[in-house]
């Protein structure tokens, strides 16, 4: 029996969460769901976008599904990542059929450090402006690089690329690069390379097939993973996993999308793929694969939301995927 | 009579500089060139990648053409930008014929702040790592935004988009966004919008035609401008201008490319377009247009370097462009 915390959050978060749960209900899973609140609406009601009770629900769960938060997204998700020490942000970039990606056949993953860098929240006003601190520790560099190499081994990837800006950030990113190559020595079967972040921003477009696992610091990972998502169809299909030693939060990369919220047209794909990441994390690989297959079949049939050229609603897409599960 | 400082630098820097000067020699220009050294080779010879004499040559010039520097690039170009207060880094993104860009008909520009942010060089080791300071001042935000809007007006653009990460960097990027909208008020004819940097990394691929002038802080500008360059063919064709109140340094976005240096195959386009940015800066718009036209004709004829699918050498491309100038 697994306890799953469920935080639909704001805007389309609720709609895509409904869709994802509907699909999960089509599988025989020993899950007990506990719902909790976070985000803008929660802040309006309770005065806090991330109440202690919500944190407790997540702490007491085996995994958490998270929809999206609105304006308060940074206060919710960045805090969760740091509080629960979810040091890995895993962002797979995979081509799907019929989603209008620029490239087909892409299959790589961005492993983003998730607890430090400019996200530590150390900012101060100065005379005529402000200063933010970019904090990098050897410990965090080492563990994220180790995760990246272990992931490469587990998934059968053969190369890991570190991304940094050590020519300008000689000390902070110098450390990141150093730790990367130190870790790499323990994985002689994996090719280790490093790239400047600006160069990588270009290579993702010019030669994305040359990458398998990309590991980088927090802010660069934020930017590069959105860029990479665009290559395979956009935010509507980009899932992510925030993983720590004890906890895991699985969320679409997209936000609450207020412009389309309430219209039943949000693309549930990113949320659904996020649940497959959760299933894999809970060692339920078979169930994850079932959902992936049903999703692909549904997309191939052209049953999809307007953002990727379809005419179907969120609930129609979810139902179609659930039906495919049963037909298996 | 204009004094032009010329710094070929390292690797392909020399080759593309030769090409650019050869083309300039085909026009009737009142230029006096003064050569100076900077970069890796210079550091080996003199112990300093950017000797005082070089700085003096640039200070005494009306404009400076810069090729590329190798490993020492950051020490050379970042120092020059800060020492000479070249607060604007102007990076036009324009589709060219026959260079294999992902999109045709693109014409926008990235205006990158060029003196602060994580580029201030304030980094320190701490117990288990290091901390870098991201410095943002109102003064620098204001002047770069003002430049962006003035540029929009001058070039007939109708919208300016600010890019930031104010949800996470609430103070530093909060200031940038605030100053952006303050400046915008003085340009009621120009549409002002703002975007998160991660969203922009996606939009550049999903809907690049919606942008005209993009203004952003230093590091985000570094990353986004390389990404944007990839949309229109890559670094081989991406020019840039570093502009301040008194000085201007014009350089290709690419580096010294040690792997292809000395082979006479470097694409001179980025350097040549950088000279056209210099010509425009010196109010020689007619000459700039002549070179642009000759370049386009040459590309259309298929006379181009291998990086963009051609078979010609750097010198052959330069000669072809120079010949086109004469035929005008
Ligand atoms: C909402 C925001 C704080 C967040 C981030 O920057 O990490 C988001 O963009 C993401 O990538 O999950
Ligand atoms: C060489 C490097 C320091 C430089 C930068 O980061 O500004 C380069 O990438 C550029 O964009 O001009």
Residues ≥6 apart with Cβ < 8 Å to B281:
B63, B241, B243, B248, B250
| CB within 8 Å: B201 and A198 | no
- Specify the range with the lowest mean pLDDT, choosing from A160-169, A293-302, B97-106, B238-247: B97-106
Q: Please check the confidence at residue B3 and state whether its pLDDT lies above 70.
A: yes
SS3 labels along A63-131: EEEEEECCCCHHHHHHHHHHHCCCCEEEEEEECCCCCCCCCCCCEEEEEEECCCEHHHCCEEEECCEEE
Ligand nearest the Cα atom of residue B219: 2
Residues of B noted as catalytic: 119, 165, 198, 222, 226
In short, whether B78's Cβ falls inside 6 Å of ligand 2 is yes
Q: What is the mean pLDDT of residues B257-270?
A: 97
Rounded distance, CA A61 to CA A134, Å? Answer: 31
Closest residue by CA, ligand 1 atom 6? A222
Rounded distance, CA B311 to CA A60, Å? Answer: 64
pLDDT per position as a tens digit, B275-321: 999 999 999 999 999 999 999 999 999 999 999 999 999 999 999 99
In short, whether B77's Cβ falls inside 6 Å of ligand 2 is yes
Rounded distance, CA A303 to CA B115, Å? Answer: 50
Choose from B91, B110, B205, B210 for mutation: most chain A CBs within 10 A. Answer: B205
Q: How far does B113 lie from chain A, in Å, by closest CA?
A: 15
Catalytic annotation, pick one of A226, A280, A296, A323: A226
**A119 labelled catalytic:** yes
Closest residue by CA, ligand 2 atom 4? B74
- The total of other beta-carbon atoms located within 10 Å of residue B171's CB is 18
Ligand 2 center to residue B74 CA distance, Å? Answer: 6
Going by pLDDT thresholds of 50, 70 and 90, the confidence category of residue B134 is very high
Q: How far does A168 lie from chain B, in Å, by closest CA?
A: 6
Nearest to A131 among B135, B165, B229 (CB): B135
pLDDT per position as a tens digit, A201-255: 999 999 999 999 999 999 999 999 999 999 999 989 999 999 999 999 999 999 9
Q: What is the pLDDT along chain A (328 residues), one digit of tens a residue?
A: 999 999 999 999 999 999 999 999 999 999 999 999 999 999 999 999 999 999 999 999 999 999 999 999 999 999 999 999 999 999 999 999 999 888 989 999 999 999 999 999 999 999 999 999 999 999 999 999 999 999 999 999 999 999 999 999 999 999 999 999 999 999 999 999 999 999 999 999 999 999 999 999 999 999 999 999 999 999 899 999 999 999 999 999 999 999 999 999 999 999 999 999 999 999 999 999 999 999 999 999 999 999 999 999 999 999 999 999 976 5
Provide the percentage of residues in chain B whose pLDDT is more than 70.
Answer: 99
| CB within 8 Å: B202 and A170 | no
Residues ≥6 apart with Cβ < 8 Å to B122:
B132, B133, B135
Going by pLDDT thresholds of 50, 70 and 90, the confidence category of residue B328 is low
Going B140 to B141 to B142 to B144, the CA torsion angle's sign is: positive
Going by pLDDT thresholds of 50, 70 and 90, the confidence category of residue B101 is confident
Q: What is the pLDDT of residue B326?
A: 76
Ligand nearest the Cα atom of residue A229: 1
Q: What is the pLDDT of residue B226?
A: 97
Ligand nearest the Cα atom of residue A252: 1
Q: What is the mean pLDDT of residues B17-28?
A: 97
Q: Please check the confidence at residue B141 and state whether its pLDDT lies above 80.
A: yes
- The total of other beta-carbon atoms located within 10 Å of residue B105's CB is 10
Ligand 2 center to residue B32 CA distance, Å? Answer: 28
Nearest to B202 among A170, A199, A235 (CB): A235
Q: What is the pLDDT of residue A328?
A: 54
Q: What is the pLDDT of residue A100?
A: 85
Q: Sort out which chain A residues have CB atoms less than 8 A from B229's CB and list them.
A: 202
Ligand 1 center to residue B299 CA distance, Å? Answer: 41
Nearest chain A alpha carbon to B206: A230
Q: What is the pLDDT of residue B240?
A: 98
Q: Which domains does chain A have, with CATH numbers?
A: 1-92+237-328 (3.40.718.10), 107-231 (3.40.718.10)
Rounded distance, CA B280 to CA B295, Å? Answer: 16
């Amino acid at each position: 029996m697994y306890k799953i915390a469920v935080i639909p959050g704001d805007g389309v978060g609720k709609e895509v969460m409904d869709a994802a749960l509907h699909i999960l209900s089509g599988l025989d899973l020993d899950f007990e769901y506990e719902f909790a609140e976070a985000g803008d609406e929660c802040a309006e009601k309770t005065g806090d976008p991330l109440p202690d009770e919500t944190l407790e629900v997540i702490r007491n769960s085996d995994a958490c599904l998270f929809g999206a938060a609105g304006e308060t997204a940074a206060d919710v998700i960045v805090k969760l990542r740091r509080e629960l020490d979810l040091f890995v942000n895993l962002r797979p970039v995979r081509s799907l059929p019929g989603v209008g990606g620029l490239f087909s056949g892409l299959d790589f993953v961005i492993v983003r450090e998730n607890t430090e860098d400019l996200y530590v929240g150390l900012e101060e006003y100065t005379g005529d402006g402000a200063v933010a601190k970019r904090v990098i520790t050897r410990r965090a560099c080492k563990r994220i690089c180790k995760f990246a190499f272990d992931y490469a081994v587990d998934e059968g990837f053969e190369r890991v690329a570190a991304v940094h800006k050590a020519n300008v950030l000689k000390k902070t990113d110098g450390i990141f690069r150093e730790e990367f190559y130190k870790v790499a020595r323990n994985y002689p079967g994996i090719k280790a390379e490093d790239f400047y972040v600006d160069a990588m921003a270009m290579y993702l477009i010019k030669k994305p097939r040359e990458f398998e696992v990309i590991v980088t610091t927090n802010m660069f990972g934020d930017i590069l993973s959105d860029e990479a998502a665009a290559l395979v169809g956009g935010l509507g299909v980009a899932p992510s996993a925030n993983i720590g030693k004890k906890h895991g939060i699985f969320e679409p990369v997209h936000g609450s999308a207020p412009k389309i919220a309430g219209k039943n047209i949000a693309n549930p794909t990113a949320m659904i793929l996020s649940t497959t990441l959760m299933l894999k994390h809970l060692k339920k690989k078979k169930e994850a694969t079932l959902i992936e297959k049903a999703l692909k079949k549904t997309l191939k049939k052209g049953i999809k939301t307007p953002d990727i050229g379809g005419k179907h609603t969120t609930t129609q897409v979810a139902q179609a995927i659930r039906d495919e599960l049963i037909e298996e």
